[in-house]
Structure 1
Amino acid sequence: MAADPAPHGKAATLARRRRLLSSSCRLFFPEDPIKIVRGQGQYMYDEQGAEYIDCINNVAHVGHCHPLVVQAAHEQNQVLNTNSRYLHDNILDFAQKLSETLPEELCVFYFLNSGSEANDLALRLARQYTGHWDVVVLDHAYHGHLSSLIDISPYKFRDLDGQKEWVHVAPLPDTYRGLYREDHPNPAEAYASEVKRVVSSAQEQGRQIAAFFAESLPSVGGQIVPPAGYFPEVAEHIRKAGGVFVADEIQVGFGRVGKHFWAFQLQGEDFVPDIVTMGKSIGNGHPVACVATTQAVARAFEATGVEYFNTFGGNPVSCAVGLAVLDVLEKEQLQAHAACVGSFLMELLQQQKAKHPIIGDIRGVGLFIGVDLIKDEATRMPATEEADYLVSRMKENYILLSTDGPGRNVLKFKPPMCFSLDNVQHVVAKLDAILTDMEEKVRSCETLRPQPSGSPALSCPLLGKKK
C-alpha cells in the first residue's frame, strides 16, 4: 500500500478539501491547483516556496499582508473590538476620510462586512427612497452572492431560476463586441438610449423603476470601459423614471483607475451617483465594506423606524484597517503609481496586439485592463479554449492570470496596486513567448483551416497538450 501523503502536503490538502467542502466552491486551475501559503506585496508563494506574480488579486489592494495594514489590525485588536452601538472614534475617522474622496453630496455612510452586503443594502435604500421595486441592470453583470443580488445578476440568474419580472436588462456598453461599436459616432448616447428603451418598456407593463445598478467598470462582463458620458445620460433617464443610480465600486474603486480615486469619475466631473457601494479593496483582505449615499436617501431609510444594525460592520478593528489602507494609498502615492504602471502595461500590450492576431482588443484604464482574445478578426469570435490554455501556461511560468467575459476569453489584469514596471515587462515578455509558441503549434497543426477573413484560426489539438 502506498504511503499516505505528508499531512500538510498539497495532495493531502486537496483530498481534505474535496472531503469537507462543496464541489461548487471551485479552485483556480482545477486540474493542477496551487497551494498558497504566503503573500507579500504583489507576490504569492506556494508550499514549496515558489514565487508567483499576482496579476488578478484586486482584494489585496495595497499589496498582500501590507505591514502597516497588518500592524493597524494587530494594535486595535489588542485594545478593543466590539460593535458600533458604542461611541468610538475609528468609525467616525474612517467615514470622514472616505468623505474627503467623494463628491460632497455623498455624505452618509453605512459600514458592513462584504460587497454583497453593501449591494443588498443599496437595493433596500433605493426601494425605500423611491417607493418603487424594479431594477435595471447591465447584461452579464454580477453584484454579489446573496439571493437578492443573484436576482439582479444576469451572469448568475441565467444559470439558475431565470430573470424575475421586476428585473430589466440593458445591453452592456461594450464598444468592441456590443450593439454599438468603436465606429459609432456617439456610443454613449446610443447605449443610454437602450436603457431608456428598457425603462419605457417596463413602464408600459405598469412597472416602476427603483434603481439602475452598474459596476463603474463592468468586470465579469469582460473588463469593459463604458464610453464617457454614458452614466450621466443613463442617470437622467433613470431619475426621470423615479429611480436612483447605484455605482458599484467594489472591484474598481480606491484609485485603481489612476486618473481618479473612483471609477465613476471617469464619466465626467459633474456626474454623481445617488449611492456608491464599496468592498474588497477597502479592507485589503479584511472583511469590511461600505455604502455611501445622500442625506435624502438616508432620511427616507430612517423614516421606516427600523434600525439598521450590523454586528461586525464598522467595528474598531475593521475601521482601523480601512484607515490604514487609505493612509497607504496616500503615502505610497498608489493612485499615481496605477496610472503610470497601467499606461506602460497598455503600451506593451498594444505592441503585442500588433504582433499576435489572436489579440483582438486591449482596453482598460489604470490597473484595470482586459485583453480580448479572438479566433478571427472579422467575426471577433471568442478564443475561449486558447485563453484557458494561455492562462494555464502563464501559471506554469509563475504568473497568475484569469479570464472573464461572456466568452471567458478576456484576460483580466487587476493586480495589487504595488504591481511594478519590472513586473509589467516580465509578464508581457512571458505572454509574448507563449503566444509565439502557440502560433508555431498552430502552423504545424494538420487540422488548420482558413477562416473567411483569410486569417488562420488559432485552434489546434496541440494546444491541449502542455509543452
Structure 2
Amino acid sequence: QNLVSSCKLFFPEDPVKIVRAKGQYIYDEHGREYLDCINNVSHVGHCHPDVVKAAHEQNQLLNTNSRYLHDNLVDYAKRLSKTLPEKLCTFYFLNSGSEANDLALRLARQYTKHEDVIVLDHAYHGHLTSLIDISPYKFRNLEGQKEWVHVAPLPDTYRGIYREDHKDSVLAYANEVKKIIDQAQKKGRKIAAFFIESLPSVGGQIIPPEGYFQMIAEHVHKAGGVFVADEIQVGFGRVGKCFWAFQLQGEDFVPDIVTMGKPMGNGHPIACVATTKEIAEAFADTGVEYFNTFGGNPVSCAIGLAVLDVIEKEHLQAHATQVGNFLMELLNQQKVKHPIIGDVRGVGLFIGVDLIKDQEKRTPATKEAEYLITRFKREYILLSTDGPGRNVLKFKPPLCFTMDNAKLVVDKMDEILTGKTVRLIFSSFG
C-alpha cells in the first residue's frame, strides 16, 4: 500500500521473498535455495566475506565525503587506472550508473560545445530525466524522441537490418551512423556524443561485431563528438578475456569516456566516470564545482578495492571465460536439438538465448520465453528475459557461477523443452 506500483516484482503472480544470499545462491523465508543466473550486481558473489569485511572495518573507522584527504580514494583511483587505457586517467566517483551517464553527458557537451547525442535503438542508459531522453527503451513509451537525439540501428547480426549473411555488416551498420551524422549536420545540428552500452543488454544480449566501435569513433570524432562506452552492466571482467567489454573491439580502440556502476560495489551503491585529462579540464574550466556527497567516500572505496582484490585473487576473469565457454557449448547443443532456440550468443558470463517461433522469420517467441522463465522458477532457478520482443533468455550471473551450475540449468532447459505438455503448449502459441 505504501510502495509505488510502477516498481514491478519478479514473478508477480508468485513473488519470491528473499531473506539471505551467498555466492550464486539466494534463499527465501522457507530456506529454499534458488540458483541466481541474472544478478550482475553481486558481481563476485552475494555477500562475499571479503567485501563484507572491508565495509564493516571501514565503517567502524570513518565514513565521510571526499573533501577530506583519504588513502582509500587515491588507492582506488590508482587501481582502476591500471585496468584502463593510459589516456583514461581521470576519475569522478558517484553512487549509481544513472549518475555516471548523466555526468558523461555533461562532460561531452561541455567539452565539444555541442548538444546532440546518437544512441542505439532499444538502448537504456539510466532513469534520470536526461537519460530517459537518450534511452529509446524508455522514451518511446513516454514523451517520444527529442530533436537532439538520434537513434541508430542496433548492430544485431541475427535479428537486425544487416545479418550474418551480409557481405560487410560492420561497415553497413557504421554507415548508418554516418548517415545520421550527415543528416543532422545538414539541419545545422552538431554531435556531442555517441553513447553505447559496450554489450547492449536490454536490446537482447547483443555482441557488436569487432571493428564497429572503431568505425563509429572515426565518424563521431570527425563530427566533433566523443565516444562514450557504457560499461555499467558488463564491466569488471564479466566478458572474461578482457576486463572491459569495449576491449573486445581490439587494443586499438579507446573510448573518450567510460561509465561504470553496478558490479563495482558488489551490491553497494558506487559508480564512476573515467575520462581524459582534456575532457576533465574543459569541464573544470566552467568554474562550476562538481561535488558528490557520497561519491568516493572511504567505505565505498574500501568496498571497491575489495571487489578488485577478489576478482584478482579468485581469478574470476579466467573463470568467466571457462564457465562461459562451457555454458555456450551446452546451449548450442540445445539449439541443434530444439528449433525454438534460434541463436545463442555471448562472451564470458554475458550470454543470450534468442527464442523464436519459426526459423525463417525469426519471430520472437515471447510467450514461450515467459513460460520457460516461470518453469525455471519452479525448479528454483532464476532467469529473466530481455530484448525488444522479451524473448531472449539472459545469463548474467555472479562470476562465481560454476560449470555444475551451468550444466544444471541446461539440463533443466532440455527437460522442460522436451516435455510433451510443453510441446503442446508451444504449438498452441502458433
Shorter-chain TM-score bucket reads over 0.9
Q: Is the counterpart of residue 460 in structure 1 residue 425 in structure 2?
A: no
Shift of 1:176: 0.3
Distance 2:353 2:305 in 1: 33
C-alpha RMSD of matched pairs (Å): 1.0
- Show CA shifts across 1:244-290 (max 9, x none): 00000000000000010000000011100000000000110000000
Distance 2:424 2:100 in 1: 52
Distance 1:177 1:221 in 2: 11
SS at match of 1:371: strand
SS at match of 1:78: helix
Q: Which amino acid aligns with 1:291?
A: V
Indicate conservation of the 8 Å contact 2:417/2:423, yes or no: no
SS at match of 2:351: strand
Shift of 1:444: 4.7
Shift of 1:459: 3.7
Q: Which residue of 1 aligns with 2:421?
A: 441
Distance 2:186 2:51 in 1: 52
Using a 3 Å threshold, how does the CA distance of structure 1 residues 131 and 99 change in structure 2: closer, same or farther?
same
Q: Which amino acid aligns with 2:80?
A: L
Q: Which residue of 2 aligns with 1:430?
A: 412
Q: Which residue of 2 aligns with 1:11?
A: none
Q: Which residue of 2 aligns with 1:317?
A: 299
Percent of aligned pairs with the same amino acid: 77
Structure 2 regions of 5+ residues with no counterpart? Answer: none
SS at match of 1:429: helix
Q: TM-score, normalised by structure 2?
A: 0.99
Distance 1:394 1:459 in 2: 20
Q: Which residue of 2 aligns with 1:7?
A: none
- Show CA shifts across 1:16-70 (max 9, x none): xxx1111101100111110011110000000000000000000000000000000
Name whichever of 183-192 and 352-361 sits farther off. 183-192
Correspondence 1:245-256 to 2 at 5 A: 245-256=227-238
Q: Which residue of 2 aligns with 1:297?
A: 279
Q: Which residue of 2 aligns with 1:65?
A: 47
Distance 1:332 1:163 in 2: 45
Q: Which amino acid aligns with 1:383?
A: A
Indicate conservation of the 8 Å contact 2:119/2:150, yes or no: yes
Correspondence 1:20-31 to 2 at 5 A: 20-31=2-13
Shift of 1:185: 2.0
Structure 1 regions of 5+ residues with no counterpart? Answer: 1-18, 446-457
Distance 1:441 1:78 in 2: 56
1:35 to 9, 13, 17: 17
1:380 to 359, 362, 370: 362
Distance 2:100 2:414 in 1: 40
2:31 to 24, 49, 62: 49
Distance 2:424 2:117 in 1: 51
Distance 1:171 1:204 in 2: 20
Distance 2:427 2:345 in 1: 24
Shift of 1:187: 1.2
Shift of 1:443: 5.3
Q: Which residue of 2 aligns with 1:85?
A: 67
Aligned length: 430
Name whichever of 182-191 and 96-105 sits farther off. 182-191
Distance 1:154 1:79 in 2: 44
Distance 1:250 1:185 in 2: 32
Indicate conservation of the 8 Å contact 2:199/2:206, yes or no: yes
- Which one has a bigger Cα radius of gyration? 1
SS at match of 2:196: strand
Q: TM-score, normalised by structure 1?
A: 0.91
Indicate conservation of the 8 Å contact 1:375/1:459, yes or no: no
2:263 to 281, 290, 293: 281
Distance 1:185 1:37 in 2: 52
Correspondence 1:113-128 to 2 at 5 A: 113-128=95-110
Q: Which residue of 2 aligns with 1:15?
A: none
Structure having greater relative contact order (Cα 8 Å, sep ≥ 6): 2
Distance 1:204 1:244 in 2: 20
Q: Which residue of 1 aligns with 2:226?
A: 244
